[in-house]
Structure 1
Amino acid sequence: MEYHYRNRELSWLQFNARVLQEAKDTTVPLIERLRFLGIFSNNLDEFFKVRYATIKRIVDAGKGGRGALGGISATELLEEITKTVIEHQATSLSILSDIEEELEKENIFIIDETQVTKSQETFISDYFLRKVSPALVTIMIGELEEFPSLKDSAAYLAIKMVMSKDDNTFGTKNNYALIEIPKIIDRFVVLPKEGDKQYIIILDDLIRYCLNNIFSIFKYDSISAHMIKITRDAELDIDSDLSKSFIDKISKSVKNRSAGDPVRFVYDKNIDNETLRFLMDKMGIDTTDSIIPGGRYHNRRDYMGFPSLGRNDLLYDKIAPLRIKGLSLEGSLLNKIANKDYLLYAPYQTFSYVVKFLREAALDPNVKSIKITIYRLAQISHIASSLINAAKNGKDVTVQIELQARFDEEANIKYAEQMQSEGVELIFGVSGLKVHCKACIVERLENEKIKRYAFVSTGNFNESTARIYTDYTLFTSNRKICKEINKVFDFFEVNYKIKKYNHLIVSPHYTRNALYNLIENEIKNHRAGKVSGIKLKLNSLSDFKMINKLYDASNAGVKIKLIIRGICCLIPGVKGMSENIEAISIIDKFLEHPRVYIFKNAGIDKVYISSADFMGRNLDNRVEISCPIYDEGIKKEIIDTFDISWNDNVKARIINKEQDNQYRVTNSNNRIRSQFKLYDYYQEKLNK
């Protein structure tokens, strides 16, 4: 089995290595490189909370796990993950050092507590007293019988004081404390400019500079501070108490997450052995936890918010999202959609069309109902406010909100309670299934009959992520598609009845077999001498049975092109197994997020946009929608955009059996950076 599949976790780590490549790439603007380091670190935090924690649970249960893990045992996998992460962390520290050198050439200096000048002392002391000191949580741990529970992914300074002989406060020569780095204060403190030079001090170092202020009541010969961080298992354990509402159960479970078992301990590699042993013993860190020696700073995810400093020359050029040809944001969208389907490809085109659709529906007196699925909302959501507006205007508004959208539970709970209080009817999904599909249906009274309008998407209805995630949204009034989207909402409310669909492909009941049949059709067409071929754009491909089906197609001679952003357990280009499969991954300015399925179908292309990756959870354990594209112009547009991405020879990496993240290099002098080329493609469409 190990020769047929790449392990999912190790494949994911190679995806994160591609993110790290962006931080290393000197053609990427300098501050953007720092932000890619932040993305790399944030990804890693979530990986340990979820995937590493899951593998650790397998080990703790005494299971081997080889069958599910692609031929490697769970114990071996934990060791391999830790080894790989240590290598990646070392690389990231080297990259950070290089970036800091380049920043200094741009007169931007990140200083530590030893480099504070006399002219900066007053500002730092004042800033500490006004903003930092009131927010600090400092725990004297040397004398505590029970070690305090450290917060998941919070960063702490571990303080060691070597006490003076004339200080009798403690019974030991060495005493220890923990300072929690406050999350409510910006990690990067911008100091006053000095001429052309801009100085920044990281909050950790500002606190180090003020240690004598914090511990002034003690007498010590020396004091040192080293950062530590613990990552906890993020699995939600849902309360089974039937007397509690679902919102209450999820709220309690999210709060309890902070007490999950530790799965990773990261420490400053320069910490002295005595302090390290003391901490690990007190925290109960054991050999199945991932113990990572790191640099001076943790929570480098904060680099995602590194200040711009007014240096637009060190950032990506901002693009103005384009309008959709033939679809104005003025006037009625619904009247336009009544006559023709339209496709939105964010962020190349403006997400405002989605908000406009809902705002119009909220105001139109002929609109009687709105139904929508919500997975992740923006912090300030115009989507939510439009739905509340519609309810206030007397519309029947039904929202299927997924309270278990990982790491967005609290935000979704907040909006759920707000919408519920304003008269929006909430549905909390189907027992045992996450609702991951992205769809909206509007019913409007026209000529004394109900006409339906819909949009269905590959991504979340989230204004913030729509600026940085690439996603398709189809606007349609196609009667057959709208009727079947409405069936999905019926299933949410009466889920013991399994609906039948002739157009949509819906998980969990139909997607796997439908995809098998579509792949099998390409095999039959190829054997019959007809046009065949498969093109897939996915975030992840990890389902072994689906991979086997693609191997079958390859062995039959069907050419398969895969664009996989993240996990790819399929091994392309292996003779006798996958020689007709090519795969690439694109990491660039925007996060590639759409799922697209294209089947040549004997020359009459079948094209779907979908919320579902080829993962077991998407195929069998979630509610997902794959929507067919019937409009020939939109079908061509999706194929065109896939081909532009496929031809990328700047930011495309080859996925191969070596997993070495080689950039694809072609002999052509024509450099194609697909994300930039796609913007040009849509500009040209507007000018035709």
Structure 2
Amino acid sequence: MAKSKSETPTINFKDPEYYFNRELSWLEFNQRVLNEAVDPRTPLLERLKFMAIFSSNLDEFFMVRVAGLKQQVEANVNKLTADGRDPSQQLTDISERLRPMILKQDQHFEEVLRGLLAEEGIHLLNYADLNVEQRTYLQNYYEDHVFPVLTPLAVDPGHPFPYISNLSLNLAVVVRQPETDDELFARIKVPKVLPRFVQLPRELGVHNKKGKPAIWTGIPLEQIISHHLEALFPGMTIQECYPFRITRNADIAVEEDEADDLLLAIQKELRKRRMGGSVVRMEIHHSAPDHVREMLSREMKLEEQNVHQITGLLGLGDLMSFMELPLPELKDKKWTAIVPPPFQRYRDTEETEGALSVEEKSESFFGEIRKSDLYVHHPYHSFSATIQEFIELAAADPKVLAIKMTLYRTSGDSPIINALINAAENGKQVAVLVELKARFDEENNIVWARKLEKSGVHVVYGIVGLKTHTKTALVVRQEEDKIHRYVHIGTGNYNPKTAKLYTDLGLFSCREALGADLTDLFNFLTGHSRQRSYRKLLVAPVSLRDRMLVLIQRERDRAKKGEKAYIIAKMNALVDPKIIQTLYEASQAGVEIDLIIRGICCLRPGVEGVSENIRVISIIGRFLEHSRIFYFYNNGEEELYIGSADWMQRNLDRRIEAVVPIDDPNIFQDLKNILEIMLSDNRQAWELQPDGHYLQRQPGENEEVRSTHEILMQMALQSSTVT
């Protein structure tokens, strides 16, 4: 532990040298995602998955972050970020950092993964690789399935440049008119209604060099189209054909103060998104000549830095479809979430199937929460047997009077939604806050909001100027002695699909203070309450920021007195300059600080005299780290919190967030153990360096491999045997 410092040098913490750029830090995160696709320790099909995630992440990055920077440049907004860059500089630096990453992805897929796939009997061919029988089959496939849905769009004085939709894959075709020798241009959209990778019949599959029969053989759809263009342009000479793909601004801006009906306003903006905003990126095959690339760039008003030349396939996000192949040996070992012991005790078994009534199950379930606080850790713990069961039992239980929930993102076929509808139909008071502004889930949320309203659920769309990001549920139950309030406060969305992929924590409790706090919070969300204080909860934008600063400063003050001081904070992103400055001050005073930041981190660790006591790691693996945990040593009176908020300005100042202290000593120790497992990881952990790059930890010689996700899965399995 570092020595305490009663006096610290005066440092200007606004100096840009102490901050990493948010956008470049995000690119570093996506670089770590790409590394999972490159790492030979990752199962082969999982490597394709990470290739796809890398590409999909970039799509959203351009649609939102790059689009926003371009808008600032066009509006002559020159505000500097904490790291001293203006929007134009950020765009230039993004382009420079991104190009080698895209080249790495492109080359690795073409030069490594294609060959490894072929060794396993998965042959993604190019058209030039096909034999006569395969070409004949694809000729028929093209005529029967592809040609009828294609629409070539000419570009000439009578045909203006066509609108090109967001994230669409297209072919730029140059044809020559034999009579006049004139060159003409046309665009063909590769239809999304057909599979991107067209599978050949098994009998036309190829064998690898070892004679292994093909499991899957196919070819990209755009290559089928490009080799049958004569049917689309009869009488013309096909000169050139090049695939390209564009990305448009897809962010939504709603003036809530001027919107009489927020739901209608969001629907209007969604229609605009479907049409798409300005083009912010074009990916084009590197073989396209300058005149084709320049013409497309000119028509879509793109600068060279937003044009990316690709040597292989475009749109590698479509590689995710290969995860559907029934080849478990090429994937991560299947994980089935366990039911935590406290939730096992009342469940039906094969011997007692149907023996327990809803009332008996409900009494047992809520009785467990009355005994003591319980926690769940997804995806290690079952979502359906815990959170989903909590809502479903509440919906059916005659003793339950009311259910209140916040919904930020949920799945299209959510059992949570159906349970809330059942509760309303059973005569219970049901109130749900649906966040319509959850990016890229707005349309889904509108559909379910209307369905909930039709069933009699009270639906609220949030507070003007604030997103409701908190993950909270409140069940009010009439019991013999009194009314009890049961709460769930979590770090993740009420979404059964992402609960299998994201790591999230949730606390169940029947503590009076928490029930009263959530009652006050829901009154704030649904009514005209101006609640400014809470008993236990830390709520943004009311008290969370100030309390987090106080907790950090308390450790700082302890360190100045020569006492042990320690902070561990786990979150998705650390951006807020005030929080970062306060962490720097704590480090200067001698506080040891471990940060577990999955994605963006604008804090620069390891700077002498400023942050040499701060260490930052990122955990990347089969699950997406999404939970937020905050630990403070507090001179041995340790405190630990979980909740929905990252340390970002938007979470602390522009969102409704809830963070809850963990008072149960057993849960406290379990969560602290989770942090310690992550800090000792030598397989999935990456260490942030003072220059902004990350180095992946590697096990030393004869050192046991410590993989966070593997360890936690094993611990969950071991706990499931406890009765």
Common fold: TM-score over 0.5: yes
Question: Are the aligned partners of 2:538 and 2:544 in contact in 1 as well (CA < 8 Å)?
Answer: yes
The CA deviation at 1:144 is 4.4
Amino acid at match of 2:250: A
Q: Which residue of 2 aligns with 1:346?
A: 378
Q: Which residue of 2 aligns with 1:233?
A: 249
Paired residue secondary structure (1:103): helix
Q: TM-score, normalised by structure 2?
A: 0.91
Paired residue secondary structure (1:585): strand
Distance, in Å, in 2 between the alignment partners of 1:490 and 1:355 is: 24
Q: Which residue of 2 aligns with 1:75?
A: 88
After the TM superposition, which residues 587-626 of structure 1 pair with which residues of structure 2 at under 5 Å, given as runs?
587-626=620-659
After the TM superposition, which residues 322-337 of structure 1 pair with which residues of structure 2 at under 5 Å, given as runs?
322-328=338-344, 330=347, 331-332=361-362, 333-337=365-369
Deviation string, structure 1 residues 343-372 (Cα, Å, up to 9, x no partner): 111111111111111110110011111111
Equivalent position to 1:646, from 672, 679, 683: 679
The CA deviation at 1:666 is 5.2
Distance, in Å, in 2 between the alignment partners of 1:17 and 1:587 is: 11
**Count of matched residue pairs:** 679
Amino acid at match of 2:120: E
Distance, in Å, in 2 between the alignment partners of 1:451 and 1:130 is: 64
Amino acid at match of 2:190: I
Distance, in Å, in 2 between the alignment partners of 1:241 and 1:452 is: 35
Distance, in Å, in 1 between the alignment partners of 2:163 and 2:312 is: 22
Q: Which residue of 2 aligns with 1:684?
A: 718
The CA deviation at 1:296 is 4.1
Structure 1 residues 256 and 367, CA gap change in structure 2 (3 angstroms): same
**Which consecutive residues of structure 1, in runs of 5 or more, have no partner in the other structure?**
none
Question: Are the aligned partners of 1:374 and 1:460 in contact in 2 as well (CA < 8 Å)?
Answer: yes
Q: Is residue 255 of structure 1 aligned with residue 288 of structure 2?
A: no
Distance, in Å, in 1 between the alignment partners of 2:469 and 2:146 is: 40
Question: Are the aligned partners of 1:86 and 1:293 in contact in 2 as well (CA < 8 Å)?
Answer: no
**Which consecutive residues of structure 2, in runs of 5 or more, have no partner in the other structure?**
1-14, 208-212, 348-360
Deviation string, structure 1 residues 487-543 (Cα, Å, up to 9, x no partner): 111111234613311210000111110001111111222233444210011100011
Q: Which residue of 2 aligns with 1:547?
A: 580
The CA deviation at 1:145 is 4.6
Distance, in Å, in 2 between the alignment partners of 1:137 and 1:491 is: 53
Distance, in Å, in 2 between the alignment partners of 1:11 and 1:671 is: 27
After the TM superposition, which residues 541-580 of structure 1 pair with which residues of structure 2 at under 5 Å, given as runs?
541-580=574-613
Distance, in Å, in 1 between the alignment partners of 2:712 and 2:556 is: 31
Distance, in Å, in 1 between the alignment partners of 2:41 and 2:709 is: 15
Deviation string, structure 1 residues 145-200 (Cα, Å, up to 9, x no partner): 532222122221112212323xx7xxx72122222222233222222223611312
Equivalent position to 1:115, from 129, 135, 138: 129
Q: Which residue of 1 aligns with 2:119?
A: 105
Paired residue secondary structure (2:521): helix
Question: Are the aligned partners of 2:642 and 2:661 in contact in 1 as well (CA < 8 Å)?
Answer: yes
Equivalent position to 2:527, from 494, 518, 521: 494
Q: Which moved more, 1:604-613 or 1:70-79?
A: 70-79
Structure 1 residues 133 and 402, CA gap change in structure 2 (3 angstroms): farther
Q: Which residue of 2 aligns with 1:207?
A: 225
Q: Which residue of 2 aligns with 1:319?
A: 335
Deviation string, structure 1 residues 600-633 (Cα, Å, up to 9, x no partner): 1111221111110010000100000001111111
Amino acid at match of 2:107: S
Distance, in Å, in 2 between the alignment partners of 1:542 and 1:137 is: 46
Distance, in Å, in 2 between the alignment partners of 1:62 and 1:52 is: 15
The CA deviation at 1:122 is 4.8
Question: Are the aligned partners of 1:160 and 1:225 in contact in 2 as well (CA < 8 Å)?
Answer: yes
Q: Is residue 22 of structure 1 aligned with residue 36 of structure 2?
A: yes
Q: Which moved more, 1:630-639 or 1:132-141?
A: 132-141
Amino acid at match of 2:660: C
Q: Which moved more, 1:353-362 or 1:259-268?
A: 259-268
Amino acid at match of 1:73: D
Amino acid at match of 1:5: Y
Paired residue secondary structure (1:327): helix
After the TM superposition, which residues 352-501 of structure 1 pair with which residues of structure 2 at under 5 Å, given as runs?
352=384, 353-447=386-480, 449-495=482-528, 497-501=530-534
Structure 1 residues 33 and 495, CA gap change in structure 2 (3 angstroms): farther
Distance, in Å, in 2 between the alignment partners of 1:347 and 1:137 is: 45
Structure 1 residues 504 and 345, CA gap change in structure 2 (3 angstroms): same
Q: Is residue 37 of structure 1 aligned with residue 51 of structure 2?
A: yes
Q: Which residue of 2 aligns with 1:266?
A: 283
The CA deviation at 1:143 is 4.5
Amino acid at match of 2:676: D
Equivalent position to 2:169, from 141, 151, 155: 155
Deviation string, structure 1 residues 52-89 (Cα, Å, up to 9, x no partner): 122222222223322x2411222221111011111111
Paired residue secondary structure (2:18): coil
Paired residue secondary structure (1:588): coil
Question: Are the aligned partners of 2:604 and 2:692 in contact in 1 as well (CA < 8 Å)?
Answer: no
Distance, in Å, in 2 between the alignment partners of 1:537 and 1:326 is: 26
Equivalent position to 1:128, from 132, 135, 142: 142
Percent of aligned pairs with the same amino acid: 34
Distance, in Å, in 2 between the alignment partners of 1:115 and 1:312 is: 28
Equivalent position to 1:510, from 537, 543, 554: 543
Structure 1 residues 243 and 88, CA gap change in structure 2 (3 angstroms): closer
Question: Are the aligned partners of 1:157 and 1:179 in contact in 2 as well (CA < 8 Å)?
Answer: yes
Question: Are the aligned partners of 1:337 and 1:477 in contact in 2 as well (CA < 8 Å)?
Answer: yes
The CA deviation at 1:640 is 0.5
Distance, in Å, in 1 between the alignment partners of 2:486 and 2:150 is: 52
Q: Is residue 519 of structure 1 aligned with residue 533 of structure 2?
A: no
Structure 1 residues 128 and 444, CA gap change in structure 2 (3 angstroms): farther
Q: Is residue 89 of structure 1 aligned with residue 121 of structure 2?
A: no
Q: Which moved more, 1:126-135 or 1:302-311?
A: 126-135
Paired residue secondary structure (2:377): strand
Question: Are the aligned partners of 2:46 and 2:323 in contact in 1 as well (CA < 8 Å)?
Answer: no
Distance, in Å, in 2 between the alignment partners of 1:359 and 1:125 is: 53
Q: Which moved more, 1:630-639 or 1:290-299?
A: 290-299
Amino acid at match of 2:173: I
Q: Which residue of 2 aligns with 1:219?
A: 235
Q: Is residue 47 of structure 1 aligned with residue 61 of structure 2?
A: yes
Equivalent position to 2:316, from 297, 300, 323: 300
Distance, in Å, in 2 between the alignment partners of 1:241 and 1:607 is: 38
Distance, in Å, in 1 between the alignment partners of 2:36 and 2:118 is: 20
Q: TM-score, normalised by structure 1?
A: 0.95
Q: Is residue 663 of structure 1 aligned with residue 676 of structure 2?
A: no
Q: Which moved more, 1:115-124 or 1:582-591?
A: 115-124
Distance, in Å, in 2 between the alignment partners of 1:418 and 1:137 is: 37
Paired residue secondary structure (1:234): coil
Q: Which residue of 2 aligns with 1:584?
A: 617
Q: Is residue 282 of structure 1 aligned with residue 316 of structure 2?
A: no
Distance, in Å, in 2 between the alignment partners of 1:652 and 1:640 is: 16
Structure 1 residues 125 and 365, CA gap change in structure 2 (3 angstroms): farther
The CA deviation at 1:392 is 1.3
Q: Which moved more, 1:72-81 or 1:12-21?
A: 72-81
Distance, in Å, in 2 between the alignment partners of 1:69 and 1:119 is: 61
Question: Are the aligned partners of 1:7 and 1:569 in contact in 2 as well (CA < 8 Å)?
Answer: yes
Structure 1 residues 496 and 136, CA gap change in structure 2 (3 angstroms): farther
Distance, in Å, in 2 between the alignment partners of 1:89 and 1:622 is: 34
Equivalent position to 1:56, from 56, 70, 79: 70
The two structures, once aligned, show a CA RMSD in angstroms of 1.9
Equivalent position to 1:177, from 183, 186, 199: 186
